[in-house]
Amino acid sequence: MSVVSVKILLFATLRSKYKTRELAVECDGTLLNMIENASKILGLEFIDDVYDRKEGKVRDDMIIMVNGRNIKDLKREITLKDNDVVAVFPPLAGG
Amino acid sequence: MPRGYMGKILRVNLNTKSLKVEPTSEEVARKYLGGKGYAVYLLYKYLKEYEKAGISPKDMDALGSENVLIFATGPGTGVPGFPSSGRYHVMALKSPLTGSIGSANSGGEFGPFLKFSGFDAVVVEGASETPVYLAIVNGEAELRDAGSLWGKNVFDTCRILRNRVNGKNISVACIGPAGENLAYMAGIVNDEHRAAGRTGLGAVMGSKKLKAIVVSGEEKPPVAKPKEFAEVSKRCLDALKTNAVTGVGLPIYGTAILINIINTAGGLPYKNWQTGVNPDAEKISGETLAEKYLTSQRSCWGCPIGCGRVTSVKSGPFQILASEGPEYESVWALGGSTAIKDLDAVVKANHYCDELGLDSISMGSTIAAAMELNERGYIPQEDLQGLDLRFGNAAALVEAVWRTAYKVGFGKYLALGSKRLCEIYGHPELSMSVKGLEMPAYDPRAMKGMGLNYATSNRGGCHVTGYTVSPEILGIPEKIDPLKAEGKAVWVKIFQDFTCVVNSTVNCLFTTFALGMKDYAELLSAVTGWDLTEDEILKIGERIYNLERVIINKYGYDGKDDTLPKRLLEEPMPEGPAKGHITELEKMREEYYKLRGWINGVPTKEKLVELEIEL
């Protein structure tokens, strides 16, 4: 499997917790591998912050957008490409 | 009278300076709850009386003495333990900005303290020849001379009147210079920084020469079933405190936390909605506001969320020692649509909106429209009188705000709102408004449901009539695809109806991020003693929305007005995740009308009978 390089953006409480706004990560194109590799930079807690190990998928309450599209709306297996931007938001609202 | 209510309504006639106390009607309350619903019912009765007297609704002058202004609370307002019930609703027969119904909602303390003063609502008829204010203290109401207050800003008016009333639970709702000068986007501001901002109700108050209402009292609304209420209240308060949005996100970051996510979704209008992607969003984001400006939180009465921001600008030309906000919509209108990336200036402009009594959404959007008109060369330079309205000019933004409030120079054009402004300069298509009300911070090309909601909102371009951003972007209560038009009509209808319930309860819409219709039915049942089901409260909401629609139909608003600016219907989004998208309004609207039982924006007779609306 080829290696792709993506940019991860963190927002709100995730940003303040990890004191990081963005980071570049290389991965095999899957979200899980991206999260695992990001946790090597941010710390292992990052995995549990965004990933539900029991369910084997991204946590349902997290808002994860790939190039501005929520992964829940894409309704397909996510395959990341080079230079994709992955925005990770904790649950939030306003108005 | 059922519990939850104070049982009295104060009717003030400013022509005759007479005050009359009437009982709150249980029959009306059972059908329309309170707040917005009860006010809509009363306004409809006025309209019928006017019609009988030969006054056409279409000819009614929003700034004439015939307009009626209602400050209304609901059965939840001010009930200790009713979560986030520190709000009130204001309505007017007609808005000077839109010509449609006037409607706005505010937090702080005024709503509960109005009830503690002994009344469920205050109805204001007529107009005074000289400035007056209304004082309601422990059930006693009095009109007093406001000559010495006329001309004063909101902060001074609140401070002075608070000192004049020597009681407990004092709150002031007032207008600033913008309302006195009849700026069409003037709001009513209470407790210094909380505004019933939309649809120009401050100008209605100004036209009546009613400077302020000050309330004070200690009478608490009773609860019908204290044991049941304690249980459901605890459950709901716990839900709000433990929910990730209402218990963590909103308290830490406030509403401006939305800036980055809405921009990421490609729906944050930029440069008067020319695109939905703001390259400088990060600079005006909730994260930046929290990091550099936030000094503390401020909660409304009885609210466990505490989304209010207390802020300061520490130094520089836009220094402010203490302010509140800006909220998400204000950051966007004053900073996003105008392409101003200096958050210092946005905080200052927002502060001036509160101090002078202006709706920050309509103010910012009107300035953004003027910037586009100016950059396209449509405004003669002599009209601008040196006001350099270019996108991104922070100094011009701040200057434009006070010029509008005092109608100085180009401010007299800005004070008319974007619709009239753009018409005057020959390009009505550049006003990003619906029914004359400037739309808030969500581009419907990137979230289609909001387009249908804006188009069909009775008061005009409004997000809080039916906030489908919640499912479309935030995934609450479930995630739906923002870029699909299919299936949006049912969401819009339910959200609009349920929002009527919230605004008639009256409490905060943010509770709905954690609480559902079942919670509302149980809270309202325990407080009032009625046995309300989810279906019943939703029917009440639908009844309110339909009666409000009947009123605006009388002003001439129908299907032709349930539309959007041409830009959103015809110009594809130029970039971002919604690139190439327009708003497919027609097919969503067709489905919506079917669901509503409306034909061309007008409720059918059968629908009104079904909803037990007596015409």
Domains of chain B: 8-216 (3.60.9.10), 254-437 (1.10.569.10), 442-610 (1.10.599.10)
Q: Does A95 touch chain B (CB under 8 A)?
A: yes
CATH superfamily of A4-89: Beta-grasp domain (3.10.20.30)
pLDDT value at residue B133: 98
> Which residue from A16, A63, A87 is facing B475, i.e. has the nearest CB?
A63
For residues B70 and B347, give the distance between their C-alpha atoms in angstroms, rounded to a whole number: 31
Q: Does A89 touch chain B (CB under 8 A)?
A: yes
Q: How far does CA B71 lie from the centroid of its chain? A: 13
User: Residue ranges of the domains in chain A?
Assistant: 4-89
pLDDT value at residue B431: 98
Question: Per residue in B331-362, pLDDT tens?
Answer: 999 999 999 999 999 999 999 999 999 999 99
pLDDT value at residue B276: 98
pLDDT value at residue A1: 65
Amino acid type, B199: T
Q: Does A13 touch chain B (CB under 8 A)?
A: yes
pLDDT value at residue B72: 98
> Which residue from B250, B264, B483 is facing A94, i.e. has the nearest CB?
B250
Mean pLDDT of chain B: 97
The answer to whether residues B114 and B195 touch, using CB atoms and an 8 Å cutoff, is no
Average pLDDT (A80-84) is 97
Confidence band, pLDDT 50/70/90 cuts, at residue B363? very high
Q: How many CB pairs below 8 A link A and B?
A: 97
Confidence band, pLDDT 50/70/90 cuts, at residue A75? confident
For residues B563 and B559, give the distance between their C-alpha atoms in angstroms, rounded to a whole number: 8
Confidence band, pLDDT 50/70/90 cuts, at residue A21? very high
Q: Is the pLDDT of residue B243 over 80?
A: yes
Q: Which of A55, A49, A29, A57 is nearest to A89 (CA)?
A: A49
Average pLDDT (B196-222) is 98
Distance from CA of A39 to the nearest CA of B (A): 22
Closest residue, chain A, to B512 (C-alpha): A93
> Which residue from B246, B249, B265 is facing A12, i.e. has the nearest CB?
B249
Asked whether the beta carbons of residue A92 and residue B481 sit closer than 8 angstroms, the reply is no
Question: Per residue in B254-266, pLDDT tens?
Answer: 999 999 999 999 9
Confidence band, pLDDT 50/70/90 cuts, at residue B477? very high
Average pLDDT (B200-224) is 98
pLDDT value at residue B1: 78
Asked whether the beta carbons of residue A94 and residue B255 sit closer than 8 angstroms, the reply is yes
Residue B233: exposure state from Cβ atoms within 10 A (0-12, 13-18, ≥19):
buried
- Termini Cα distance of chain B: 24
Q: Which of B435, B438, B428, B477 is nearest to B456 (CA)?
A: B435
Question: Per residue in B97-129, pLDDT tens?
Answer: 999 999 999 999 999 999 999 999 999 999 999
Average pLDDT (B275-300) is 97
Question: Per residue in B489-538, pLDDT tens?
Answer: 999 999 999 999 999 999 999 999 999 999 999 999 999 999 999 999 99
Q: Is the pLDDT of residue B290 over 90?
A: yes
| Whole-number Cα distances in Å, B14 to A30, B3, B164, B189, B200 | 69, 31, 22, 21, 20
pLDDT value at residue A76: 81
Asked whether the beta carbons of residue A95 and residue B464 sit closer than 8 angstroms, the reply is yes
Q: Is the pLDDT of residue B18 over 90?
A: yes
The answer to whether residues A34 and A42 touch, using CB atoms and an 8 Å cutoff, is no
Asked whether the beta carbons of residue B257 and residue A12 sit closer than 8 angstroms, the reply is yes
Question: What residues in A contact B264, CB-CB < 8 Å?
Answer: 9, 65, 68, 87, 89
For residues B592 and B598, give the distance between their C-alpha atoms in angstroms, rounded to a whole number: 8
Closest residue, chain B, to A15 (C-alpha): B287
Q: Which residues of B438-448 are buried (b: 16+ CB within 10 A; e: fewer)?
A: bbbbbbbbbbb
Q: Is the pLDDT of residue B446 over 90?
A: yes
Match 């090597």 to its residue by tokens: A40
Residue B160 CB neighbour total at 10 angstroms: 17
